[in-house]
Amino acid sequence: MSKMNKRIRAQGALLLAMINVPALAATLPESSVEKHMGVATCASSQCHGSAIPRDGTGVLQNEYVTWTQSDPHSKAYEILSNEQSRLIASRLGIGRAREADVCLDCHADNVAPDKRGDKFQLSDGVGCEACHGGAENWLSTHYKAPEVTHQANLQAGLYANEDAVDRANLCLSCHLGTRDKFATHKIMAAGHPRLVFELDTFTELWRTAGRQPHYRVDADYRERKDIDGHVYTWAAGLLAEARRRLDLIQSHYFDVPGMFPELAFYDCHACHRTMKTVQWRSLPRHGGVGPGTPFINDGTFVMSLALARAIEPGETEGLINALKRIHRASITSVDAIREAATELDSILARMGSRLTPARLRGREAKILEEILATGAEGNYLDYVSAEQAFMAVQTLVIELDDPILEAELDLLADSLNNDERYRPSEFRRLLSALQEED
């Protein structure tokens, strides 16, 4: 069985559930100055609309068909007309979901009207240019290699999805949010699913959604673009998500009118638990905060701690202290939380500045060891941290190509199949079993 198939098999019910939920670098496609010409401009059979993959070309040329038949992004607009979306829109009082910007900003390529070409349609959903950038200046030339280079296409407005950090920031613009759009607690309380993201896992999930890749990583691809590898993609995405979360804490979304701050930044499961048993827990990273305090959602911060232990040990103590401070600040003030967030972000920025594929190569076993050790300390008692830990462990185990460890992945995934039935002790036991095998 190929590594790719092992990955999809190991994801099991956990990732099937994810399918149903729906200082930054490059300018995102949604904010680009170039016009978005519309999916139809890419769909010719001589371009990306071939019914079957073609040989002898730099690309498969059936990307449009793969997108329409297999990629959930192509159905993002259609979802806005189903019963769940109708109910969410009704509860929010925003009219029709398919006409409300708060929905369209992530369920369609909702660029400004003056940035829409003649064949542009909102109903195309999250189409080609939502990810690849407005094609106004590169549509007619991007295929003319070697006369027109990939770098020239990027300068003309093509978005650099092959770059892990840029791709992470693009995906996070909807799978977490930006200072212009964010799935607030109000939106989720109206019925929107909880948002989940991990770059490497999601890249592989969508790329293989139809058992037919959206693109082919071959000699031609490697000649034009760098290939970062799964572990670097995971680490880069991890730090990008953590930093985006901290950036949003500094935004207007965090400091909202009323008794509470924006609850979407907090751990959902800190409040959404049964009242029949006492389940409140405090971990060392929470800085001694007493019972009844909801904690900031820190799943990616905790995984960043495990990464630091493996490749940046000098940052570990500062990262632990910054984590404690941001949790202690939760009982103080919004300003205190933001001050702690700034300190934490500075550490993550330093880690990101030194992160390279070469630096991670050969360190897979050490990173896995530290993730398992961090779990053995009890740091994944909350569901979100456990969820992030599973996706990281899965990436590393499959990359290490260890059949003994791979055999444990299904059990680990099954333990996270239902967040309401998640048992921290069971997850910790399974991690300990992996640690013994490692």
Q: What is the CA radius of gyration of the chain?
A: 22
In a shared domain, residues 257 and 141: no
Q: How far is CA 338 from the centre of its chain?
A: 23
Neighbours of 233 (CB within 10 A): 24
Whether 282 shows a pLDDT value over 90: the answer reads no
Domain count, the chain: 2
- Regarding predicted confidence, which is higher, 337 or 288? 337
Report yes or no on 183 lying in a domain. no
Give the separation between CA 237 and CA 86, rounded to whole angstroms: 33
Report yes or no on 185 lying in a domain. no
Q: What is the pLDDT of residue 275?
A: 61
pLDDT band at 435 (very low <50, low <70, confident <90, very high): confident
Report yes or no on 222 lying in a domain. no
Judged by average pLDDT, the poorest of 178-192, 210-224, 294-308 is: 210-224
Whether 7 shows a pLDDT value over 80: the answer reads no
Last residue of a domain, which of 162, 186, 212?
Answer: 162
Report yes or no on 4 lying in a domain. no
In a shared domain, residues 156 and 278: no
Q: What is the pLDDT of residue 5?
A: 47
Going by C-alpha positions, the residue among 238, 252, 352, 254 that lies closest to residue 296 is 254
Last residue of a domain, which of 120, 143, 162?
Answer: 162
In a shared domain, residues 249 and 395: yes
In a shared domain, residues 135 and 281: no
pLDDT band at 277 (very low <50, low <70, confident <90, very high): low
Give the separation between CA 110 and CA 96, rounded to whole angstroms: 15
The answer to whether 316 and 309 have CB atoms below 8 angstroms apart is yes
DSSP three-state, residue 36: strand
In a shared domain, residues 154 and 245: no
Average pLDDT of the residues in 416-422: 89
Percent of the chain with pLDDT strictly greater than 90: 64
- Regarding predicted confidence, which is higher, 385 or 7? 385
DSSP three-state, residue 116: strand
In a shared domain, residues 237 and 349: yes
Q: What is the pLDDT of residue 203?
A: 85
Report yes or no on 156 lying in a domain. yes
pLDDT tens by residue, 133-165: 999 999 999 988 889 999 999 999 999 999 999
pLDDT band at 25 (very low <50, low <70, confident <90, very high): low
pLDDT band at 6 (very low <50, low <70, confident <90, very high): very low
Average pLDDT of the residues in 419-424: 87
In a shared domain, residues 312 and 402: yes
In a shared domain, residues 274 and 132: no
The answer to whether 12 and 96 have CB atoms below 8 angstroms apart is no
In a shared domain, residues 105 and 254: no
Give the separation between CA 192 and CA 181, rounded to whole angstroms: 14
The letter for the amino acid at 356 is T
What DSSP string describes 291-331?
Answer: TTPPPB--HHHHHHHHHHHHH-GGGHHHHHHHHHHHHHGGG
Report yes or no on 148 lying in a domain. yes
In a shared domain, residues 239 and 140: no
Q: How many residues does the chain have?
A: 438
Whether 21 shows a pLDDT value over 50: the answer reads no
Whether 90 shows a pLDDT value over 60: the answer reads yes
Report yes or no on 207 lying in a domain. no
Report yes or no on 37 lying in a domain. yes
Whether 212 shows a pLDDT value over 80: the answer reads no
Q: How far is CA 124 from the centre of its chain?
A: 22
The answer to whether 241 and 300 have CB atoms below 8 angstroms apart is yes
Q: What is the pLDDT of residue 20?
A: 37
Residue 65's domain spans which residues?
Answer: 28-162
Last residue of a domain, which of 101, 130, 162?
Answer: 162
In a shared domain, residues 147 and 240: no
Average pLDDT of the residues in 413-432: 89
Q: To the nearest whole number, what is the mean pLDDT of the chain?
A: 88
In a shared domain, residues 151 and 254: no
Give the separation between CA 194 and CA 372, rounded to whole angstroms: 26
Q: What is the pLDDT of residue 207?
A: 57
Phi (first) and psi of residue 10, to 5 degrees:
-65, -30
pLDDT tens by residue, 344-400: 999 999 999 999 999 999 999 999 999 999 988 888 888 999 999 999 999 999 999
Where do runs of H (alpha helix) occur along 193-333? 199-207, 219-224, 230-249, 299-311, 316-328
